[in-house]
């Protein structure tokens, strides 16, 4: 079968490899769609993400859908839950498997991902998707789940205003989710003009980041009122600062973006003076069923702006790294 592997920064190669062999409790899944996430781009651009560094060629991709080819559920279309928690540690027992210190995650560290024609993966982590959901939407359930989890942490209530700072694919899904959840006002920012326009089409009042000058436009749009809550999904310290400046005292800011470097500067005096609660979002926590239920309303496949075959995975990664559109998807074995 064909597999796309990252060999170093900007170096993706497609080659033939042996077919996977299913272990105990696993099934073979033919991958029909896999999205390129912002975390994949960290691997691609920096050969690392956070404390994890590339030590051997890695198959990327954790936003995936496919068809089971083995086992009693053969023929069933599924979304892949990329998070394999140990289910035994105190963190898992407390209902936080996405924070499991022993987790194996698809396309991360030494666990190969889904940018290949087939994969062996535990059946318990293969989530059935409805017949009327296409493969692109199935793959987008994972980023939609990330957005659902972040919005839960933001504690948005009907009638609240919210800021979404970063209008990439997850930012766009957050805008749609916030409006579907009853937000009265959604404001958003991004550094890229086409993403600002996309955020506007999703229903947000969106402006281009402009060295801090965007604050005046946002405050005017809010009528001088502070935001009730905010989510940073840009991976930039400036976005956290903008969120902190615009929210009301005593509320929270959710930090969901992944910065290029593993350290970010925070405006300590501003955060302290406002008594803000910083919540850090990591991946998602058991929200596939909710994501499936909301997919018809949120239409996650609409954030996909480019689709490539597996043979063109190097071009797909380069396209995603240019941030020329929104979500790029690879279709290994449609």
Active-site entry in 39, 108, 288, 326: 39
Q: Measuring CA to CA, how many Å separate 36 from each of 32, 137, 185, 193, 308?
A: 14, 14, 30, 21, 11
Can you name the residues that pair with 187 across neighbouring β-strands? 163, 205
Long-range contacts of 202-208 (CB under 8 A, 24+ apart): 202/172, 202/175, 202/176, 203/175, 203/176, 203/179, 204/164, 204/167, 204/175, 206/167
Can you name the residues that pair with 247 across neighbouring β-strands? 227
CA distance 15 to 37: 22
Whether 39 sits among the annotated catalytic residues: the reply is yes
Q: Shortest CA distance to 27 belongs to which of 88, 75, 83, 95?
A: 75
CA distance 318 to 316: 5
Whether 47 sits among the annotated catalytic residues: the reply is no
Active-site entry in 42, 108, 149, 288: 42
* DSSP element (H, E) containing 4: strand 2-8
Catalytic residues: 39, 42
């Amino acid at each position: 079968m064909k597999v796309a592997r990252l060999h170093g920064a900007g170096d993706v190669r497609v080659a033939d490899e042996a077919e996977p062999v299913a272990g105990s409790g696993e099934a073979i899944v033919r991958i029909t769609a896999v999205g390129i996430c912002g975390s994949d781009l960290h691997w691609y651009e920096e050969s690392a993400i956070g404390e994890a560094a590339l030590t051997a060629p890695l198959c990327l991709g954790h936003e995936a859908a496919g068809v089971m080819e083995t086992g009693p559920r053969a023929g069933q279309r599924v979304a892949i839950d990329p998070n394999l928690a140990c289910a035994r540690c105190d963190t898992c027992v407390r209902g936080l498997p996405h924070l499991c210190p022993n987790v194996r995650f698809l396309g991360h560290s030494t666990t190969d991902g889904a940018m290949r024609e087939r994969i062996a993966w535990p059946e318990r982590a293969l989530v059935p998707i409805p017949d009327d959901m296409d493969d692109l939407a199935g793959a987008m359930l994972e980023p939609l789940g990330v957005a659902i989890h972040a919005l839960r942490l933001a504690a948005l209530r009907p009638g609240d205003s919210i800021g979404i700072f970063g209008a990439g694919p997850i930012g766009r899904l957050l805008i749609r989710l916030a409006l579907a959840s009853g937000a009265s006002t959604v404001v958003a920012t991004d550094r890229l003009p086409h993403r600002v326009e996309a955020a506007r089409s999703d229903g947000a009042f969106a402006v281009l980041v402009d060295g801090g000058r965007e604050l005046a436009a946002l405050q005017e749009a809010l009528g001088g009122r502070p935001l009730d809550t905010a989510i940073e999904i840009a991976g930039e310290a400036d976005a956290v600062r903008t969120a902190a400046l615009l929210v009301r005292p005593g509320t929270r800011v959710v930090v969901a973006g992944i910065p290029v470097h593993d350290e970010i500067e925070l405006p300590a005096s501003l955060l302290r003076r406002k008594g803000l609660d910083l919540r850090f979002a990591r991946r998602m926590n058991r929200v596939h069923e909710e994501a499936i239920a909301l997919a018809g309303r949120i239409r996650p496949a609409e954030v996909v702006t480019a689709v490539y075959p597996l043979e063109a995975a190097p071009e797909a990664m380069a396209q995603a790294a240019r941030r020329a559109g929104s979500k790029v998807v690879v279709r290994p074995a449609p």
